Amino acid sequence: MGKDSIKCAELVSNAMNIYNIVGYYMLYIACGTGILATKLKNMNFEVIGIDISEDMINVAQETTTGIKFELE
C-alpha cells in the first residue's frame, strides 16, 4: 500500500496544482490506517480522516501525528 499511497498523494497534489486549487484541505473518507493521510499531511495538506472501522481509526491514531481521525 505504501507505493500506491505515494502515487495517489502525488496525483492529488498535481491535480490541485494544475487547476490552481488552493487551501489544501482534505476530507479522507475510508482512511483506514492513515497511510495515505500521512502522505498528504507530509505534502502540507490539512487532513481529516473518517472510517467506519474503530480498529482502523485506532491504528491511524496510534501511528500518526497532527491528523484528526473520526469514527463515522
Show pLDDT as tens, one digit a residue, over the chain (72 residues): 567 877 888 898 888 889 988 777 889 999 999 999 998 898 888 999 999 999 999 999 999 999 999 998
Structurally, the chain folds into a number of domains equal to: 1
CATH number at residue 7: 3.40.50.150
pTM equals 0.78
Which class for 21: exposed (0-12), middle (13-18), buried (19 or more C-beta within 10 A)?
A: exposed
Strand, coil or helix: 49: strand
Domain that holds residue 34: 2-71
Three-point CA angle 48, 44, 20, nearest 5°: 100
Q: How many CA atoms lie within 13 A of 5 on its CB side?
A: 16
Q: Which residue has the cell 495538506?
A: 45
